[in-house]
Amino acid sequence: MKITDFGKIMVIVPHQDDELLLTAGVLYSAAHAGLNPHVVMVTNGDYGCHDHSVGYARLRETLAGVELLGVPGEQVTFLGYADTGMPRAESFLAGLYDETDENKVHPSHCGTETYGLPEKPDFHAQHFGMPAPYTKAGFVQDLKAVLDEIEPDSIITTALCDTHGDHSGLYQFICDELRSRREAGKKVPTLYTGIVHSPAGDENWPLRDGVRPLTCPEGLESASTLRWENRIVLPVPQEMLNEDLAQNLKHRAISCHKTALKPDAVDFLYSFVKADEVFWKVDL
């Protein structure tokens, strides 16, 4: 499969750095093929922060990272929702998805409504004149509206089997919305999914073996319907194959995420500097 087969790509992911771990090569190749890929950041990555300082830092780090790949800031959208924890019981997006009262506000550590940057507001504030409350109804409204605005041919997002609750919750929201669009007779983009936090555990996958092809995470096929032999393999561009990591473009882009590069996460994040990126096509 060639990058041009995807058409206009929308990468929609929960947290700052997911866009690079999953799709740095895709974004670079699409941008340099003139496909104008669009990145949608769903949360502000502000877990554990009691003000907007971490969110502001992480949003700016995303802009810096994707700009290295040729994706300008105007092709990045901030939905501005919260980041409250990795286990599904603590996850903001999984909590919204499982919520039965669509108007119940789910507060985070630092607020109850969406926010972006002072110089680049969140999507809801830009389009509806004010931030959205942290509700299921608000999130579904924003997801519908951002799809209507971008009109992608293909969407790449995180997988249902991803062990971060925000990642699996986002996948469920997107599948529901695409099914709704199909029932309404609207254009339905092709959905692709990839893994950041695998069933093998972040300490075990991806392998810390240099710029090699990704291997199948242990436990993937028992924990999901994904089959390794059915994956779509996209080699990364030459600029991301350099074993001298100081010269490797994917490594350099991930290095923009200084806030995420905590001592216990460094090896994991840089382990995604691989010779390929892999995805699965989703049958809705």
Q: Which domains does the chain have, with CATH numbers?
A: 3-281 (3.40.50.10320)
Report the relative pairing of strands 154-158 and 76-81 from DSSP bridges.
unpaired
Render pLDDT for 114-139 as a digit per residue (tens, 0 to 9): 999 999 999 999 999 999 999 999 99
The token duo for 233 is: 């393999």
pLDDT of residue 16: 98
Cβ atoms of 145 and 94 within 8 Å: the answer is no
Residue type, 105: V
pLDDT above 90 for 168: yes
Render pLDDT for 3-29 as a digit per residue (tens, 0 to 9): 999 999 999 999 999 999 999 999 999
Whether the bond into 206 is cis, omega within 30 of 0: yes
User: What average pLDDT is seen over the chain?
Assistant: 97
Using alpha carbons, list the distances in angstroms from residue 81 to 6, 51, 77, 105, 117. Answer: 27, 14, 12, 12, 13
pLDDT of residue 79: 98
Helix (H) or strand (E) holding 81: strand 76-81
Q: Is 181 helix (H, G, I), strand (E, B) or coil?
A: helix
pLDDT above 90 for 1: no
Q: What is the DSSP letter of 156?
A: E
Q: Rounded CA gap, 197 and 85, in Å? A: 13
Mean pLDDT value of segment 255-273: 97
The maximal CA–CA distance of the chain, rounded, in angstroms, is: 52
pTM: 0.97
Percent of the chain with pLDDT over 90: 100
